[in-house]
Structure 1
């Protein structure tokens, strides 16, 4: 009988006014899980950026199986943020090199059209190491995208707020209008992190 393989999946970037939403899926061996827990693996929102980068580097060095998928602001505007997030989760799971037996999904929704058994886990990014690893991969990759966009659109200061609806970001949008990477369907009701 093949081994039982659990994947975790999570997204980063549901609340921002600009930039992509990014989801990741991750599968951890027992050894990888113990290593990452010893480094402070947790929900990416509970860790400072430097700590997330350190854990992500350790994931890559330890050979953690992970995949990620982004959806652009235009896709978000076309199909809405929830559907874009779920599509990214689906694609990240499907791109894993190992086929999971079970996918644990952060939150209260299952991923539509995923041909693998799945279970939604509320606050899973704090409770399930594979989901926490996916949340870190998604957050680190999204932050890197926003830092790159900061160089293209420096007037919006994306490196500071990562596209979240902070007072600074709102003031800059009011001054300059939306950039090509702003989500035109968003009013910015979300908080500073997702």
Structure 2
């Protein structure tokens, strides 16, 4: 089968995170109708893989099989140099079951300070997977590097955005206009690769 997405097709966004669903909708530029896994009451699979690409593929496959539609999934997170790449694939889990990212950012700051390192380097990674109900899939990955900013700044975006300043910028993702963030983000970089592969 040809790995092509047809504009106007309805895709399932394999996420229960409204912020992530909104970003996926924006990235898709209105080319597709989007239903989220949350809207369809699909259960969330356990993220048992050890990489962003593995977890994105797992989530996309799960949503495609459960819905019978083409599904798109993102697995993303923040990696911190001073913490040897943590929280990485565990970024959401650091926020606990209630997704308390204020707590997660405070925990991250505490862990970085405990290391005694002056290194504030960090990077966001986004893996995007598109999967068809027959199991056929495409997975790509994007990354944006930057530095950590403590205390958190800005109330835009979601997750760890208020503590991340992308290289070459002075504002955190949490302070940026959404369009400015989208122009730089790890998810956008992954999507450009996906677009080249499928559109």
* TM-score normalised per structure 2: 0.30
Relative contact order, higher structure (CA 8 A, sep 6+): 1
Q: Which structure: greater strand fraction?
A: 2
